Amino acid sequence: MVSDDGHSASRKPKTVPLTSISKFFNMIKDSVIFQVVDESSEGQRIDNFLIKLLKGVPKSHIYRIVRSGEVRVNSRRIDVVYRLMPGDRVRIPPVRMGQPPAVPKKSSVVQVRVVFEDDALLVVDKPSGLAVHGGSGVSFGLIEQIRSSRPHAKCLELVHRLDRETSGLIMIAKKRRALVLLHEMIRKGQVHKFYWALVKGSVQETHFEINVPLKKYALASGERRVQVEAGGQESRTVFTCKAVCDEFTLLEAELKTGRTHQIRVHLAHKGHPIAGDDKYGDYSYNAGLAKQGLKRMFLHARTLRFGHPLTGEPLALEAPLPVDLEIFYKSIPWQGL
């Protein structure tokens, strides 16, 4: 006797709570697995659900097993754009996966300060030098570190990103619904992000906006860069001068769009690159700043203002300047301060 999922009734497929990644990796190689969807995956597309679950399996293979009907939801064939609902029972066929994600050594763990946390949302103050996720030569980033420290959390997903060199506030969703709503709020301009940037030279305007198209490109080494170019994506940043002297200006930047390296490219385009920026700044100038004590890019995600995605409660979160940036800032002879 054969069930509607293609397995004999004498070999009942396993329904697995994913409490152990290593056990799951071993089981999925040899037998059909059934995974019951909870609220942490509500609204997620089946392809993205499987890509996250079956780490190490090529995306092309995941799409093939969905389209061939080997993956089923509630015993029915589905398309790759199907969105999951709580209680859905997902049939996952045997697949050969890569190695389970490595757990970092304690010596490699970077201490991260929690600024806000409840059942749906986690906001942390990311230090400079810590990538937000693994990849591009980084095996273990912020999100992997947080997931490793909270092995029983059902959902921990980055809401947005910061460059590795940039410090400051970053949001992590603890519920799928919070993630979806925050992404929608960001698209509608309902999440207000403010950065502090120290730039080269004296900026004369007290308040100004930069609105130029940005386009990504890659160097011969494969490193990604961004430049101002007609036909690129719309990008808008509003700047307010906080302090000025002959050599530096401290600016507050409010993102109106969220393009890669947006603030860095906008300021370099204006002729005032961010102090310490090794991609779009002045190399010899930065070398001189390093001798004065500024050994990193002076860009900090300082403030987030938004309504809580589930309760609507107004939130105004701040991360003070890190010690190294604060010391350098206070060493500058600002005019009128």
Q: Using an 8 Å Cβ cutoff, are 47 and 65 in contact?
A: no
The SS3 of residue 308 is coil
Q: Using an 8 Å Cβ cutoff, are 243 and 249 in contact?
A: yes
The SS3 of residue 90 is strand
Annotated catalytic residue within 4, 38, 119, 163? 163
- 38 catalytic? Reply is no
Residue 271, phi-psi category: left (phi > 0), alpha (psi -120 to 50), beta (remainder): left
Q: Using an 8 Å Cβ cutoff, are 266 and 279 in contact?
A: no
Helices (H), 12-120: 21-28, 46-53, 59-67
The SS3 of residue 205 is coil
**Residues constituting the chain:** 337
The SS3 of residue 16 is coil
304-to-158, 215, 226, 291 alpha-carbon distances in Å: 15, 26, 25, 33
Q: 140 Cβ partners below 8 Å, 6+ apart? A: 102, 104, 108, 134
Tokens 């970092």 belong to 104
**What share of residues in the chain are helix, strand, coil (percent, to 5)?**
25, 30, 50
Residues with active-site annotation? 163
